[in-house]
Chain A
């Protein structure tokens, strides 16, 4: 099976292997320039023949986590500012949705209302993720991940005990579940903005950091 890369590949190629390696390269490119991401993914691919797929997958996760942590540790104030900006952007659709529920409670009695509210929130989360990456191309994705972790932690810390105490309150449980699931569109928004940046060639203007 040909690699799809311009120079071809002499290894024992299969589509699954290349898809995994390309996926890892794309994952790294969320935090690094395209060249740097290709270099690291190539290093892992080079060693993968000797060390196996488990090592490859484990290192991909560890490197991603290290890149995220490095982005936060390198400029903690800027990262905090990004998270606060993200929280401010996210609060607009979140508070809008809550206000709609409080002002028009009967709206939530219909299935359409239950579907519309999470969609409204998730749309806001998608837009927030894309905005963070557009505002800060280098650290935007790390900011999205940090905001997702902070948001999830707060929701679990404050919403979890309330759901545990009163499981019959399905409305609040759905409210919390929709909030927890909001991390997915938040990260997806960041990923889409970052990919668009790389495909558009903007990423090559960035230094390897």
Chain B
């Protein structure tokens, strides 16, 4: 904070604001569904594509996900730069179509860590073992 204040004094306020706007990345807030998708992609490592992500969400999170909801969420995450996609070689099982594999980017990892830290802070001191039930 002190160095930030010094930078502000050295640059002058308008230039300091410009500096901050360029240097500080805009934090991306993730919805619950987006968090689950990112976690599923991380779990699947190199085999994360539409079919396996849906299966992972069903198996691990108990969520039956409609394909439309998943694909629009993946598009949204890619637009935000939180995931990246690459096409694999076409496979005969898919009628000669390639799989679109996705991976979590550094920005996606940071957004996920921030979301999980928020959960941890909110859970601090809480007893969820039925005390409030």
Interface on A for B, CB 8 Å cutoff? 3, 5-11, 17-18, 21, 25, 32, 35-36, 38-47, 49, 59, 62-63, 65-67, 69-70, 74, 207-209
Query: How many A-B residue contacts, CB cutoff 8 Å?
Result: 111
A46→B50 CA distance, assembly (Å): 10
Interface on B for A, CB 8 Å cutoff? 49-51, 66-69, 71-72, 75-76, 78-79, 85, 87, 89-100
Question: Interface residues of A: mostly helix, strand, loop or mixed?
Answer: helix
Report whether A208 and B75 are in contact in the complex, using a CB–CB cutoff of 8 Å: yes
State how many angstroms separate the Cβ of B92 from the closest Cβ of chain A.
Answer: 4
Closest to A40 in B: B71
Report whether B100 and A8 are in contact in the complex, using a CB–CB cutoff of 8 Å: no
State how many angstroms separate the Cβ of B99 from the closest Cβ of chain A.
Answer: 6
Q: A39-B49, A62-B68 are in contact. Are A18 and B95 (CB under 8 A)?
A: yes
Q: A62-B67, A208-B85 are in contact. Are A6 and B75 (CB under 8 A)?
A: no
Q: Which of B69, B72, B89, B97 contacts A38 (CB 8 A)?
A: B97
Closest to B88 in A: A39
A207→B79 CA distance, assembly (Å): 8
Report whether B96 and A43 are in contact in the complex, using a CB–CB cutoff of 8 Å: no
- Sample 25 A-B pairs with CB under 8 A, ordered by A number: A3-B96, A7-B90, A8-B92, A10-B93, A21-B95, A35-B100, A39-B50, A39-B87, A39-B100, A41-B95, A42-B95, A43-B50, A43-B99, A45-B94, A45-B95, A45-B97, A46-B94, A59-B68, A62-B68, A66-B69, A67-B72, A67-B75, A74-B76, A208-B100, A209-B78
Most buried by A among B69, B87, B95, B100: B95
A205→B76 CA distance, assembly (Å): 18
Closest to A55 in B: B67
A59→B99 CA distance, assembly (Å): 18
Report whether A63 and B79 are in contact in the complex, using a CB–CB cutoff of 8 Å: no
Known: A5-B95, A35-B85. 9 other contacts (CB 8 A): A7-B90, A21-B95, A42-B91, A49-B93, A65-B68, A74-B76, A208-B75, A208-B85, A209-B78
B49 neighbours in A (Cβ, 8 Å): 39, 43
State how many angstroms separate the Cβ of A155 from the closest Cβ of chain B.
Answer: 29
Q: A63-B67, A66-B71 are in contact. Are A38 and B98 (CB under 8 A)?
A: yes
A70→B50 CA distance, assembly (Å): 17
Closest to A35 in B: B87
A49→B99 CA distance, assembly (Å): 17
Q: Which of B78, B95, B99 contacts A3 (CB 8 A)?
A: B95
Report whether B98 and A208 are in contact in the complex, using a CB–CB cutoff of 8 Å: no
A38 neighbours in B (Cβ, 8 Å): 87, 97-98, 100
A56→B111 CA distance, assembly (Å): 34
A18→B95 CA distance, assembly (Å): 7
Report whether B79 and A25 are in contact in the complex, using a CB–CB cutoff of 8 Å: no
State how many angstroms separate the Cβ of B30 from the closest Cβ of chain A.
Answer: 16
Report whether B96 and A5 are in contact in the complex, using a CB–CB cutoff of 8 Å: yes
Report whether A43 and B67 are in contact in the complex, using a CB–CB cutoff of 8 Å: yes
A44→B78 CA distance, assembly (Å): 20
